[in-house]
């Protein structure tokens, strides 16, 4: 039984005792410690989401031209998916929630600088930076042009509407939403024969951390790249079993 369920039952018993002028034993030290112990010992369900690997990213971007009806949309999602992987981005840093005009954490076009060698992104705030101290991310050019974040961003910026605001937007100016990002990912996975249920938007950061580990980056380097303040990133790593 879940600790939260036990708390509900104890609260109900406590309420019954109080309205009937019975002794309320729910706040006894031993009862509170029992609940605390249950909460600590309750094992979390293992995170079963699979990573977006480099090879899978290549396959997804490769089929966008055939899979998406609009070339502009193919360019948009190719850049967003590549950027999400190589910059260790959270989906909320690229998209807005459905029905909103913009996201507080989404990267703004004004905060992006692109050269032929790298991309500099200034994140004004993020999930782990609620006070808005801001941080800069540098994304390097990759030798594989099919998934290179610099090349794909340059292609996207050539056709992006010349408006301020969220970096990733459609060509009517509306911001790309989390729902759309997730939906295109699921459809692309299904298109190439992968089990959609085993992947989510977080699979990009899982893939980034896993790839960095397999390439030999240290724990501290990975924490910096993914902006993790603790060892939480270790739960993202999926080492293949041979």
Domain boundaries, the chain: 3-41, 54-232
Mean pLDDT of 77-97: 95
Percent of the chain with pLDDT over 90: 58
What pLDDT, in 10s, does the model give residues 51-76? 999 999 999 999 998 889 899 999 99
CA distance 95 to 177: 5
Identify the band that residue 5 occupies on the pLDDT scale cut at 50, 70 and 90.
Answer: confident
CA distance 9 to 118: 57
CATH fold for domain 54-232? hpI Integrase; Chain A (1.10.443)
What pLDDT, in 10s, does the model give residues 160-196? 999 999 999 999 999 999 999 999 999 999 999 999 9
Contact call for residues 139 and 83 (beta carbons, < 8 A): yes
pLDDT at residue number 242: 41
Q: Which residues pair with 177 in a beta bridge?
A: 96
Residues sharing a CB contact under 8 Å with residue 128, sequence separation 6 or more, in sequence order = 227, 229
pLDDT at residue number 83: 98
**Is the predicted pLDDT of residue 118 greater than 60, yes or no?**
yes
What pTM, to 2 d.p., does this model score?
A: 0.77
Mean pLDDT of 112-134: 83
């Amino acid at each position: 039984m879940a600790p939260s369920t036990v708390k509900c039952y104890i609260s109900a018993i406590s309420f019954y005792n109080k309205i009937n002028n019975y002794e309320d034993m729910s706040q006894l030290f031993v009862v509170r410690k029992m609940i605390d112990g249950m909460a600590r010992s309750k094992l979390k369900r293992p995170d079963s989401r699979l990573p977006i690997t480099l090879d899978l990213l290549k396959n997804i971007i490769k089929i966008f031209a055939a899979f998406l009806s609009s070339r502009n949309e193919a360019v948009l999602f190719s850049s967003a998916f590549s950027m999400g992987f190589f910059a260790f981005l959270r989906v909320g840093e690229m998209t807005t929630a459905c029905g909103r005009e913009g996201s507080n954490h989404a990267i703004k076009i004004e905060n992006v600088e692109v050269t032929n060698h790298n991309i500099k992104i200034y994140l004004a705030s993020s999930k782990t930076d609620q006070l808005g101290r801001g941080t800069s991310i540098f994304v390097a050019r990759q030798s594989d042009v099919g998934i290179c974040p610099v090349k794909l961003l340059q292609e996207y910026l050539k056709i992006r509407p010349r408006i301020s605001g969220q970096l990733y937007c459609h060509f009517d100016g509306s911001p790309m939403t989390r729902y759309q990002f997730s939906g295109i990912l699921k459809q692309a996975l299904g298109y190439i024969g992968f089990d959609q249920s085993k992947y989510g938007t977080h699979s990009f950061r899982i893939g980034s951390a896993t790839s960095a580990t397999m390439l030999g980056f240290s724990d501290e380097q990975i924490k910096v790249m993914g902006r993790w303040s603790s060892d939480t990133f270790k739960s993202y790593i999926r080492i293949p079993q041979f």
